[in-house]
A and B are shown apart, each in its own frame.
Chain A
Amino acid sequence: MSPFLTETLSKFQQMGTALAAFFGVLLIVFYLGSKTSGRIQTPTARLVMLGPAVVLLTAGLVVPAVLTTISSFKDANNKKFVGLANFNWVFTNPDNLVTLRNTVLWVIITPLVSTGLGLLLAVLIDRMKHESIPKSLIFMPMAISFVGASIIWGLVYEYSEPGGEQVGLLSQLAALFHVADPPNWILIPFWNNFLLMVIFIWIQVGFAMVVLSAAIKAIPVDVVEAAMLDGATGGRLFRSVTVPMIRGTLVVVLTTIMIGVLKVFDIVRTMTNGNFGTQVLANEMYAQSFVQFDAGRGSALAVVLFLGVIPVVIYNIIQLRRDHAR
């Protein structure tokens, strides 16, 4: 057996032992829990059921979140407290203002466009004969990682010297429309943000379409028939019946994409590394923490991001609960 295999196997063995031990402990705890009776039965059951989740959440989420929040008030080396200096930097540095603006643009535009396009496609494809074929094709980009997609789109936006052979698809298209001198797309101030958003939308539309299409199919036929008897057709049917009936799903899709957008990092990092006025919060956070090793600023950016995500998550959960309650 090759040394590589031996080493890999021994690693799997270790992992297997750890997993077995974990489940063994769980089994013992559950067994002891089941033996209890009387007054302590209910509290014990709660402890046994909630305990593992609470422990894992505390170690994996709560403690790091608290530590990050503390670091956000400390200096670059995580030693001295510096008060609000890091947050002051986040909200006053001119480059950070651009970063914040871009993040807001991303959060508003990409979920709306992805969901809107997804809804449109869901409605259109719903009436097609072999709907699984276009659906699979549109869903396919979902299987591509953001980094992979960015590399693909990087080639689309590629710039070559005018007059020569154009490598970039967009430049070649522009040439077909007799644009004499295709610009260096990724350098166009402000609008280059939208070129990056296209990549995210390209990936997310498939997800929105599939989920919304399922919701549309779940609308009871009698509701649609009643509306049609009342004379509703086409646009009216869509506006007054379809959209209200899938409203819950629409909101969930929208907020899910929104949470994903707040974390967007890979696209910006791969395409521009945040240069040319395209920086977003998550990438700046990574750069501050792991390229420039400024733990304070990195943590402050993480806290801002965290505070930005919370309302969306809460709204998302409320909406999900309302959906379940119905």
Chain B
Amino acid sequence: MSLKTRGRSSVLIAGGVAAAFALAACGSSSGGGGTASTSPSTSASVSAECQPYAAYGTFAAGTTVSVFTSILPPEQQKFEASWAQFAKCTGITVKYEGSDQFEAQLPTRIAGGNAPDIAFIPQPGLLAKLAQGQNPPVAAPATVTANVDKYWNPAWKNYGSVDGTFYAAPLGSNMKSFVWYSPSVFKAKGYTVPTTWEELTALSAKMVKDGVKPWCGGIESGGATGWPATDWLEQIVLRTQGGDVYDQWVNHTVKFNSPQIKSSMDLLAAWMKNPLFVNGGHGDVKTIATTAFQDAGKPILDGKCGMLQQASFYAAQWDTFKKGAKIAEDGDVYAFYLPGIKADIPTPIVGGGEFVAAFSDKPEVQAFQTYLASGEFATEKVKQGGWVSANSGVPLDAYTDNISKLSAQYLTKSDATFRFDASDLMPAAVGAGEEWKQLTAWFGEGKPTDEVLNAIDAAWPAS
């Protein structure tokens, strides 16, 4: 579901052609910068600014590492800026290539013997598929493993491993357990930010009494229509069933039509399919299926909808609704943590992120891989703004915006029940297919819960 990743930047993409031109232009300009850098032989005079990069070694001019990713401009420029100093000091030229057809193209390129040196893979499920296929990625070198052990919650390393082999270090992260709301509306109506599920339900009921639909949502997302609905279900499953059942659900030992998931669906129905609660500013419950996820939160600014459950990256959307919208605790819009439901499941958090897989063991590739897993890189990237890392080597005050900081606070919490987005972990036939399709039918066509769950179970690949 890297479409989620893509969502962040999709607003600014005018079209495939424009993006392609931008990529071509950027690719070549970074190439020019690389060759112009000082030759590595004059390493005797390592300048102070290159001192931190000495450990990565220096390489002959023209040494290139290719990166293939689904992350498009303007995020591309931020990435390039954050490793510019590394590139300059080591002499490595990083050739960045982004594609909005990443998931389809990567397996084709690998099969065609044209694999990139490094790929930013947004789904552990895709990583597992590649690792089990022909020409698998190279296992992470010891330097990368050391960085990941040092900086990340062990859950993350687990998500970058397949069958006990650690392949891919985490890169960026996003926090999905957020609820967006308008602080100014809350203040005017005297609402307070809920900290428990009961308070959240009470607040929803209060909004209904005030004549405002408390929730809005949209799951339309082109070829990935349905993914926000899978996120809602994941929030409920993790909150009511806990991490163990969640893990079993991911590997299908707990089936979709099991009582645990069925009761989660019922709770979700009482929340996002409740005709009193939704769909604020958009119409009836069924409009959830036809509303673009990007547009879902717009009525919050008009006071026609109270809250929207959506990930941290939704922060990028507000500016498209209202130029210069202020995202802060006292601004136009802000987010609060979607409260937990059970006391014995502390701070449940559903998140996502990308992983750095390498298809080459050349020393320059491993040096770059190691740098990407370091706290220094994450801090540089965080300073570029709009990006969160679960890397604990990043000081919280490096974050330039409130939402990223709030996300990092939760993502680096040591006692949190963190789980990766389940649909990204499930086989693509379910996580990028039947679950999207069936939940869309559940909202849009009123398909009965039992039929929906049975159909998803039936689509689980036999192995």
Contacts from A to B (Cβ < 8 Å):
3-4, 6-8, 76-77, 94-95, 159-162, 184, 186-187, 189, 269-270, 273-277, 287-288, 290-294
State which of B60-68, B286-294, B366-374, B400-408 sits at the interface with chain A: B286-294
Extra contacts, 11 of them, besides A187-B290, A275-B225, A292-B432 (Cβ < 8 A), are A3-B28, A8-B24, A94-B455, A159-B283, A161-B283, A269-B222, A270-B222, A273-B225, A292-B428, A293-B107, A294-B428
Residue interface bits B187-231, CB-to-A below 8 A is 1, else 0 = 000000000000000000000000000000000001101100000
User: What CA separation (Å) do A160 and B289 show in the bound complex?
Assistant: 13
By a CB distance below 8 angstroms, the chain A residues around B133 are 77
Closest 3 CB pairs of A and B: A3-B28, A292-B433, A290-B104
Cross-interface CB contact of B283 among A160, A275, A287, A290, cutoff 8 Å? A160
**A187→B428 contact, CB < 8 A:** no
Q: Does B312 contact A (CB under 8 A)?
A: no
User: What CA separation (Å) do A274 and B222 show in the bound complex?
Assistant: 10
Residue interface bits B223-254, CB-to-A below 8 A is 1, else 0 = 10110000000000000000000000000000
Contacts from B to A (Cβ < 8 Å):
24-25, 28-29, 31-32, 103-104, 107, 129, 133, 222-223, 225-226, 281-284, 286-287, 289-290, 428-429, 432-433, 437, 440-441, 444-445, 455, 461
By a CB distance below 8 angstroms, the chain B residues around A94 are 455
User: What CA separation (Å) do A290 and B225 show in the bound complex?
Assistant: 15
User: What CA separation (Å) do A184 and B429 show in the bound complex?
Assistant: 29
With A77-B133, A95-B437, A273-B223 in contact, do A187 and B444 touch (Cβ < 8 Å)? Answer: yes
**B445→A4 contact, CB < 8 A:** no
Name the CB-closest residue of B to A292.
B433
In the complex, 11 of the A-B residue pairs with CB atoms within 8 angstroms, ordered by the A residue number, are A3-B29, A94-B455, A161-B283, A162-B283, A186-B290, A269-B222, A274-B437, A290-B103, A291-B103, A292-B432, A294-B428
**A293→B283 contact, CB < 8 A:** no
Task: Give the Cβ gap from A276 to chain B, nearest Cβ, in Å.
Answer: 5
User: What CA separation (Å) do A293 and B104 show in the bound complex?
Assistant: 8
By a CB distance below 8 angstroms, the chain B residues around A189 are 445
With A76-B461, A161-B283, A290-B104 in contact, do A276 and B24 touch (Cβ < 8 Å)? Answer: no
By a CB distance below 8 angstroms, the chain B residues around A159 are 283, 287, 290
**B282→A161 contact, CB < 8 A:** yes
By a CB distance below 8 angstroms, the chain B residues around A76 are 429, 461
By a CB distance below 8 angstroms, the chain A residues around B428 are 291-294
**A184→B286 contact, CB < 8 A:** yes
Task: Give the Cβ gap from A193 to chain B, nearest Cβ, in Å.
Answer: 14
**B24→A291 contact, CB < 8 A:** no
**A4→B287 contact, CB < 8 A:** no
Task: Give the Cβ gap from B446 to chain A, nearest Cβ, in Å.
Answer: 10
**B445→A187 contact, CB < 8 A:** yes
Most buried by B among A161, A270, A277: A161
By a CB distance below 8 angstroms, the chain B residues around A269 are 222-223
Name the CB-closest residue of A to B108.
A290
Cross-interface CB contact of A276 among B31, B429, B444, cutoff 8 Å? B444
Name the CB-closest residue of A to B29.
A3
Task: Give the Cβ gap from A80 to chain B, nearest Cβ, in Å.
Answer: 10
